[in-house]
Structure 1
Amino acid sequence: MAASSVTLRLPATTANLGPGFDCLGAALDLTADVTVSLAQPAVPHGPAEKAVVVAAEAACRYAGKACPPLSVDFIKTIPHARGLGHSAVCRAAGMLAAEALCDAYLQDHEMLALGTELEGHADNIAACLFGGLQVVARSGMKVYRAGLPAPSDLSAVLFIPDFEMSTDAGRGLLPRELSREDAVFNMSRTALLVAALVEGMTDLLWEATQDRLHQPARTQIFPQMPAIFAAAREAGALCAFLSGGGSTIVALARNSEDEIGSAMTKAAEANGVSGQTVVTHLSNNGASALDQTMTPA
């Protein structure tokens, strides 16, 4: 029996983790609650709510179900255009709401493929849906993923600038070709990073998060980035990287979280960038339903 309303809890995510461009993502213990309800007539929505509805409609089409008018109540605890998977939250919420409200059942691999089609890349949506550390690869319309436990003892210190970064604008700056040396550099560090996280080899994390593909190009938008990385390291961070397309910078740590956050803030402010810090953790929890109101028989 379909529900008339469902409340979902979905995690923010961090993608790329330095070298793993479009292939690594991890869930964060920072969540948004989204309530989607049947509505008659349809309720006007803002951009985030519209993205939820569009994803629900896409899931219904995929499953061969009709999508009724919907209303969306979005508690926006995850900032937009800061590299924390806001759009993945919207799309995951829509697909899961379609399942609960419209009987639009998709298997995990179908939901991942549809979410990737909506997102344009699989890293954030995989981490949002399934939690933990997600390694993803695409071949045409097919998406492969390997989910791994995220280290529960690692804190994630987020420096969230007050300015937005456009994912599309950042991607437009990326090099169309890489030298063999740079390709090997990134591939080797992506593999090293996954192994280091799984095996708890935190002494490798700084080198394993180095990147020659997207972060250097994105310094054209965010030139203060290297100074903030350096400040995080000086304060005791195990590594620091741009989260997804930015503008958030993530530093992983086992201690000294407050000092790391303060150091990143001071380095940013010294270079003309204001923002806030949030201390959270990597999370193994993916999207889930908190509550459902069933349609009367």
Structure 2
Amino acid sequence: MIRVQVPATTANLGPGFDCLGMALELYNVVEFSKIHHGLVIEIEGEGSGELPRDQKNLVYRAARRVFEKTGYDPGGLRIKLSNNIPLGRGLGSSASAVVGGIIAAGMMSGASLSRREILGLACSMEGHPDNVAPAILGGLVIYTSVDGEINWLKIDLPAGLKVVAAVPDFPVNTREARENLPHMVTLRDAVFNISRAALLVAALQKGDFNLLGTAMDDRIHQPYRSGLIPGYKKVVSAARLAGARGVAVSGAGPTIIAMADGNYKLIAEVMKETFRESGVSARSIILDPNPVGARALEVI
């Protein structure tokens, strides 16, 4: 039996559109074991009532990529998914499925896949590395593509930093959220985001939380995605008043994340309540950054 744990992720962090992502200590667990024949998929937790239990399942589709690449025939396969990452909320649930399937299949087939190979396979399915890179590597990841190859740098995050995630009870389709974005931005907005993204990375490296409020501002994607999130401006303002250092949409949304070094419970309650006042049911989760990324829990 093979068990792989994959963390949730939050992408963009405000200004770092498609180039910054962070792993969080909220996990999905993928379990592979051999059976006599066929495919059996069991799902518990998030998505148990809606995710497919056949060959359309994303974990299986990712695993099949590895089996085809390595020429390995698993015969009968049992997959058990224990999901804690909310689906369609901007916390990397699909990236977790892809990464978990690739790593588990690599272990089952005996393939020694490097992190770069895992990242390449995952990106070929997800289309971009914003969630898969931190899910694999952990920490804060800066990534870019050069001639089709992903280059990255991982940064360990400062002690005391936590992420409060306010998760609405409705999903946002990532593709639809991306279609809302403009194809062109002004030079002024480009410079605005470049300066904030650079400041954000430096602030997190140095542990200067005072800079996060400015550093997490954005003009490229959040102004266009915020309209998909009822109460967005009120939730952001409430989180800041409660002590959040910086606030941003997580990935394509609708989850809103607040970075904080204190007042975590107050921030969580205020964000949840402000969503409620805007007619949106939501839950709040206080999360530590995950420093290690995906890892094997057990191999028998």
2:158 to 146, 151, 175: 151
Identity of aligned residues (%): 38
- 1:283: Cα distance to partner? 1.6
Q: 1:244-283 maps to which residues of 2 (within 5 A)?
A: 244-283=251-290
2:218 to 211, 221, 229: 211
Q: Does structure 1 residue 42 correspond to structure 2 residue 39?
A: yes
- 1:235: Cα distance to partner? 0.4
SS of equivalent to 1:109? helix
Specify the alignment match of 2:124 in structure 1: 117
SS of equivalent to 2:39? coil
SS of equivalent to 2:228? coil
Q: Does structure 1 residue 15 correspond to structure 2 residue 11?
A: yes
Q: Is the 8 A contact 2:41 2:80 kept in 1?
A: no
The Cα offsets for residues 178-217 of structure 1, whole Å up to 9 and x where unpaired, read as 0000011111111111111011111110110001111111
Q: Does structure 1 residue 81 correspond to structure 2 residue 88?
A: yes
What is the rounded CA distance, in whole Å, between the counterparts of 2:75 and 2:235 in structure 1? Answer: 47
2:25 to 23, 26, 29: 29
What is the rounded CA distance, in whole Å, between the counterparts of 2:233 and 2:152 in structure 1? Answer: 31
SS of equivalent to 1:31? strand
Specify the alignment match of 1:192 in structure 2: 199
SS of equivalent to 1:113? helix
Q: 1:161-180 maps to which residues of 2 (within 5 A)?
A: 161-180=168-187
Structural RMSD (CA)? 1.6
When residues 47 and 192 of structure 1 are mapped into structure 2, their CA distance, relative to the original with a 3 A threshold, is farther
What is the rounded CA distance, in whole Å, between the counterparts of 2:179 and 2:246 in structure 1? Answer: 26
What is the rounded CA distance, in whole Å, between the counterparts of 2:251 and 2:79 in structure 1? Answer: 26
Give the letter aligned to residue 15 of structure 1: A
Q: Does structure 1 residue 54 correspond to structure 2 residue 51?
A: no
When residues 71 and 142 of structure 1 are mapped into structure 2, their CA distance, relative to the original with a 3 A threshold, is same
Specify the alignment match of 1:70 in structure 2: 77
Q: Is the 8 A contact 1:57 1:67 kept in 2?
A: no
- 1:241: Cα distance to partner? 0.6
What is the rounded CA distance, in whole Å, between the counterparts of 1:84 and 1:189 in structure 2? Answer: 22
What is the rounded CA distance, in whole Å, between the counterparts of 1:48 and 1:15 in structure 2? Answer: 28
Q: Is the 8 A contact 1:82 1:160 kept in 2?
A: yes
What is the rounded CA distance, in whole Å, between the counterparts of 1:121 and 1:218 in structure 2? Answer: 19
Q: Does structure 1 residue 136 correspond to structure 2 residue 152?
A: no
TM-score normalised over the length of structure 2:
0.92
User: Where in structure 2 are there 5+ consecutive unaligned residues?
Assistant: 43-50
Segments of 4+ moved more than 6 angstroms? none
What is the rounded CA distance, in whole Å, between the counterparts of 2:282 and 2:189 in structure 1? Answer: 32
User: Where in structure 1 are there 5+ consecutive unaligned residues?
Assistant: none
Give the letter aligned to residue 24 of structure 1: L
Q: Aligned residues, how many? A: 289
SS of equivalent to 1:8? strand
SS of equivalent to 1:277? strand
SS of equivalent to 2:118? helix
